[in-house]
Structure 1
């Protein structure tokens, strides 16, 4: 053995030839910009900013890193014969390749024998004036590239050079900048978009497998992962070439059939694809485990068990995870390090969406790592997030982005069929989903809130019974949404039904009873039953004042609804007096941007309009509109309602 760890005779058996593959013969869809950028480093095209740097193509396993390197190599082979390829899957293969290259470049065996392989090799490469390319492929464990020095410091077995037309190209799943150092240029290779994904499928399977639209839908379901696209495309081509009578049961021949099979069973009809992907990701996780990230597997399973949407990092709560035996002894720092390590290998993406820090999984990674056994843990994570200070209340405007990010995961948990018959988990799932529906309602997304609440009511009625307290709460919230949508009759029926149950269980003065009566009276008001609604509000106001006092939110709400009735009955002066009084209380308590303050101001402006104070009413509506546009957005129903009333008032002022 030599000092390099590889014998001269063994190095003679190492080939440095570029592998031939379908990537070298077909169009490499969606990678033109990167190919041009890399080829420009070698070609004589003026000043090159990254000359001498180590270029690293990084990304998820199966994203096509090696295919890009092969394409670069084959294109350059038309211009130079100095193109070398070294595999870095293991130390023996990598060191043997370096030794073979050093001998080709004329490094004497005695220099290699005394351990000067790297220094002599890079001195020779730096001295080359003609174009050359060195590819180091599959360097997923970048520690192999250190040697006696440090890769990140530029002293490793792979290092920067001084050749004017040389390119060092490394492919790796490791995308952490600290691994490669300041002298490296990282090229993040992402999955293909639907259009280029469709190109790959059509290129391989041909038009007989379906339309371009169907190919794009399948590409989206495969997450644009080139390995999956190529394997599926070849599979469909092979099946399509056989007459239908010679196809086995379960074989799919079209894009639409393949996508439907994935959606139905979550597994690849062609087992070779699943095996290849599982093997790639298993090796990635093995590598991270070897590096000391002991919780990467269970953490990936937890993330994969959430919905196919970015997962807010609040759902990776170390305190809740630490209660599970798979995370025993694992703290927040270790979980964060594991997330960064997973992101470094492309298995997840860490990003901020609408100000919310999230972690996103490739859909095929999610398919491969989801575990129904994690359902209970995921529900606990959702529950803890829903009642955290960070999440606040569903009505808090500044927290809406976080509630929106939680929404798909609550819906996903509700749809999950749990075989454990654990009512506690079901109740917690329903509780979180109900809060999410409340946020949708507050954001003005009434159709989505209604759909979710109807599903909740149906599930709870069949599991808990309609008179269960949680079921009554959801029915109450459903009636509220129906009321806002204008379905007054249905909302009134639900309120009256709930009220009867509430009275028989808790009596007339119970807070829950009073709340239901309040909302029932609001429906009666909107149905035109003004006298009936006024009687209820006057009675409720007496109760609220005696229980809570004048400044309590429930008392203010009762006075507000009474003012609405008085307004519609034509008692404008009394309605205005009440609005102005409660507005003063609201502004001193919550400020001018609070939703309740804006609602009171809106209704006060309408009274001013009916009293003939058109200029004053217009100024007030314009001010409210400005705040609502800024706070809840221009498309919120409340904003649109204010805009409509401003138009009406301006029309009365002669400004149609």
Structure 2
């Protein structure tokens, strides 16, 4: 650095005073632990390994970094007058503040003029024995802190010190460890929880705006972002102080009204809130763009256009993104770097949930960057993900965490209306939606599967026609869910309609026709029509043995169903022999703990119970229960079904 760029008179005009305002007078909710940790560093009560470190309070714009710094500064001003505040929004303000501080500490002008500002300043700060605090606020572009050296190497304009009772506190949106170096201690400032958020709203707006529960719900909708909470709280307080007759149309006066406005897609009633937040986040994106991350803006908008849930990284597929003009020529490495850069500024969070890598957006960041123009690309990303090798089959237990992460986004895309073009987009979403419904059904979430299929079936019928194969498949899957829910009459009617159509379009012996006929017979069986169901199973089984073979999964399913109706008819010996044969085959081909194997194992145990072998049946059912708990979880309907059978068999065994 060849010179500070400031004359003596100019630097003397720069204030190093801590900013005053409401932040210094109000309770800083939810930050006590961090404040105590930072104050301990000044009072020489902290970890010895952190002595002299640069402490960086980092987080999303609007999360309250400056408020934390103000609170620390005002508390320390009760103990010392050596508290200095330097803004780092731009180079002139920052270097001017350093120059002013250096002069205040007695660094001669000639030392500053020859470019020794940083060395002399930090030498004098390190020599201070009384408590002191230097805040460098809004250092979002950390490159300004390099100077002639390197911030990350400890040779920048901000660097570690050797004072026993000093604290260097930097606030920044940049939370990437590589920016600050090993000598820095990063404090990630996260949004407030619902309870603390409710306290902020009640503190500002007062109880007349609603209950604590309503305040907590609004705080959750605002994502716990302190800037939003403070602005909304002040807005509600201002509106609440006016008599109702002087309120304009659309003004909200309560927590519940404000939340309803946001949920209805309305903008912030207080225009200053939206402007402030949008401006903060726009500057963050501008900064990343300047750093060479050319796709951060469209990438954030694509992510924001998904559902309000963590987005699996499989939905940020570089190959699919690259098909769009906005991402032309952008590599996978660049997309990953952009995600990391967005996370570094707190605009997104990269995390693993249930073993699935995801990217999560703050609710207000999502609201601010949602753009219906990306809907078509969102759907293409979903379609590619749903049919990828990574997601596999929806019935595969090991893939359920990924399917669970994809589900809210498939539902959101299917129900999305604004900005969509059904003729062009809908064909790309129905496959993902049907696979998602299959996954929900496999996981035992029958109500959610039915709701999704209830939405999908009529749209498919209206788009493709009622007799199209995809419409029939979706309708068939809906009947399966209804059957499992116990709605036998409706399921039977659907199967009958599909069976009539498939016999005409596919033929009597087509696998699709046989599957529907098999399911239709299963409903008849559950309705007590055992003879009719048995006759259908026997006819289907003969056809499948001839066309598919004895060991084909469809053949085994029909054979299993036949054994089930034989069990219902009291032909226990024959049913038991069939189950034993099927179980041997499934153990060899599928494995001991495959869902089909466990189903057959349970059926065999039930037959043993019906034959009076209660002790043996109880042992077998207990083995199935242990496996299903381990594979499916204790609350899965299939697990609960096994538990009910164990209770029944145990009760029978205990009878005298």
Q: TM-score, normalised by structure 2?
A: 0.98
Q: Which residue of 2 aligns with 1:166?
A: 166
Alpha-carbon distance between aligned partners in 1 of 2:99 and 2:74, rounded to the nearest angstrom:
23
Q: Which residue of 2 aligns with 1:64?
A: 64
SS of equivalent to 1:436: helix
Alpha-carbon distance between aligned partners in 1 of 2:164 and 2:421, rounded to the nearest angstrom:
69
**Aligned length in residues:** 656
Q: Which residue of 1 aligns with 2:95?
A: 95
Q: Which residue of 2 aligns with 1:382?
A: 382
Change (3 A) 1:287 1:198: same
- RMSD (CA atoms): 1.4
- Residue 471 of structure 1: CA displacement? 1.8
SS of equivalent to 2:421: coil
Alpha-carbon distance between aligned partners in 2 of 1:652 and 1:469, rounded to the nearest angstrom:
47
Change (3 A) 1:275 1:608: same
Provide Cα deviations, 1:17-75, integer angstroms capped at 9, x if missing partner: 00112110100111111111111111254764421000000000000000000010011
Q: Which residue of 1 aligns with 2:586?
A: 586
Change (3 A) 1:100 1:318: same
Provide Cα deviations, 1:355-377, integer angstroms capped at 9, x if missing partner: 11100000000000011010110
SS of equivalent to 2:84: strand
Q: Which residue of 1 aligns with 2:3?
A: 3
Alpha-carbon distance between aligned partners in 1 of 2:655 and 2:291, rounded to the nearest angstrom:
71
* 1:185 lines up with 2:204 in the alignment: no
- Residue 266 of structure 1: CA displacement? 3.8
SS of equivalent to 1:67: helix
Q: Which residue of 2 aligns with 1:443?
A: 443
Q: Which residue of 1 aligns with 2:242?
A: 242
- Residue 420 of structure 1: CA displacement? 5.0
Change (3 A) 1:80 1:495: same
Alpha-carbon distance between aligned partners in 2 of 1:573 and 1:644, rounded to the nearest angstrom:
23
Q: Which residue of 2 aligns with 1:512?
A: 512
- Residue 398 of structure 1: CA displacement? 0.6
Q: Which residue of 2 aligns with 1:113?
A: 113
Alpha-carbon distance between aligned partners in 1 of 2:267 and 2:210, rounded to the nearest angstrom:
21
Q: Which residue of 2 aligns with 1:483?
A: 483
Alpha-carbon distance between aligned partners in 2 of 1:101 and 1:200, rounded to the nearest angstrom:
35
Q: TM-score, normalised by structure 1?
A: 0.98
* 1:18 lines up with 2:18 in the alignment: yes
Of 401-410 and 426-435, more deviation after overlay is shown by 426-435
Contact 1:266 1:367 in 2 (8 A): no
Q: Which residue of 2 aligns with 1:452?
A: 452
- Residue 418 of structure 1: CA displacement? 5.0
Q: Which residue of 2 aligns with 1:301?
A: 301
Contact 1:151 1:179 in 2 (8 A): yes
Contact 1:320 1:380 in 2 (8 A): yes
Contact 2:348 2:360 in 1 (8 A): yes
SS of equivalent to 1:133: strand
* 1:206 lines up with 2:206 in the alignment: yes
Alpha-carbon distance between aligned partners in 1 of 2:490 and 2:422, rounded to the nearest angstrom:
33
Of 36-45 and 364-373, more deviation after overlay is shown by 36-45
Q: Which residue of 2 aligns with 1:614?
A: 614
* 1:651 lines up with 2:651 in the alignment: yes
SS of equivalent to 1:359: strand
Alpha-carbon distance between aligned partners in 1 of 2:268 and 2:457, rounded to the nearest angstrom:
35
SS of equivalent to 1:653: helix
- Residue 7 of structure 1: CA displacement? 2.4
Q: Which residue of 1 aligns with 2:357?
A: 357
Contact 2:202 2:212 in 1 (8 A): yes
- Residue 204 of structure 1: CA displacement? 0.8
Q: Which residue of 1 aligns with 2:411?
A: 411
Alpha-carbon distance between aligned partners in 1 of 2:230 and 2:651, rounded to the nearest angstrom:
63
Contact 2:375 2:419 in 1 (8 A): no
Contact 2:37 2:46 in 1 (8 A): no
Alpha-carbon distance between aligned partners in 2 of 1:309 and 1:173, rounded to the nearest angstrom:
23
Contact 2:223 2:362 in 1 (8 A): yes
Contact 2:43 2:165 in 1 (8 A): yes
- Residue 456 of structure 1: CA displacement? 1.5
- Which runs of 5 or more structure 2 residues have no equivalent in the other structure? none
Q: Which residue of 2 aligns with 1:137?
A: 137
SS of equivalent to 2:175: coil
SS of equivalent to 1:242: coil
Alpha-carbon distance between aligned partners in 1 of 2:270 and 2:461, rounded to the nearest angstrom:
41
Of 39-48 and 449-458, more deviation after overlay is shown by 39-48
User: Which runs of structure 2 are paired with 1:325-364 in the superposition (5 Å)?
Assistant: 325-364=325-364
Alpha-carbon distance between aligned partners in 2 of 1:215 and 1:615, rounded to the nearest angstrom:
57
Change (3 A) 1:641 1:177: same
User: Which runs of structure 2 are paired with 1:253-264 in the superposition (5 Å)?
Assistant: 253-264=253-264
Alpha-carbon distance between aligned partners in 2 of 1:230 and 1:642, rounded to the nearest angstrom:
53
- Residue 655 of structure 1: CA displacement? 7.5
Of 420-429 and 433-442, more deviation after overlay is shown by 420-429
Contact 1:430 1:456 in 2 (8 A): yes
Contact 1:192 1:225 in 2 (8 A): yes
SS of equivalent to 1:163: coil
Change (3 A) 1:651 1:20: same
SS of equivalent to 1:265: coil
User: Which runs of structure 2 are paired with 1:417-428 in the superposition (5 Å)?
Assistant: 417-419=417-419, 421-428=421-428
- Residue 253 of structure 1: CA displacement? 1.0
Contact 2:373 2:419 in 1 (8 A): no
Contact 1:41 1:48 in 2 (8 A): no
- Residue 467 of structure 1: CA displacement? 2.4
Of 34-43 and 646-655, more deviation after overlay is shown by 646-655
* 1:282 lines up with 2:303 in the alignment: no
- Residue 617 of structure 1: CA displacement? 1.2
Q: Which residue of 1 aligns with 2:549?
A: 549
- Residue 570 of structure 1: CA displacement? 1.3
- Residue 641 of structure 1: CA displacement? 1.1
- Residue 460 of structure 1: CA displacement? 2.8
Alpha-carbon distance between aligned partners in 2 of 1:218 and 1:592, rounded to the nearest angstrom:
50
Q: Which residue of 2 aligns with 1:155?
A: 155
- Residue 212 of structure 1: CA displacement? 1.0
Q: Which residue of 1 aligns with 2:599?
A: 599
SS of equivalent to 1:349: strand
Contact 2:83 2:132 in 1 (8 A): yes
Provide Cα deviations, 1:601-631, integer angstroms capped at 9, x if missing partner: 1001111111122222111111111110100
Contact 1:2 1:8 in 2 (8 A): no
- Residue 5 of structure 1: CA displacement? 2.6
Q: Which residue of 2 aligns with 1:630?
A: 630
User: Which runs of structure 2 are paired with 1:303-322 in the superposition (5 Å)?
Assistant: 303-322=303-322
Change (3 A) 1:413 1:420: closer
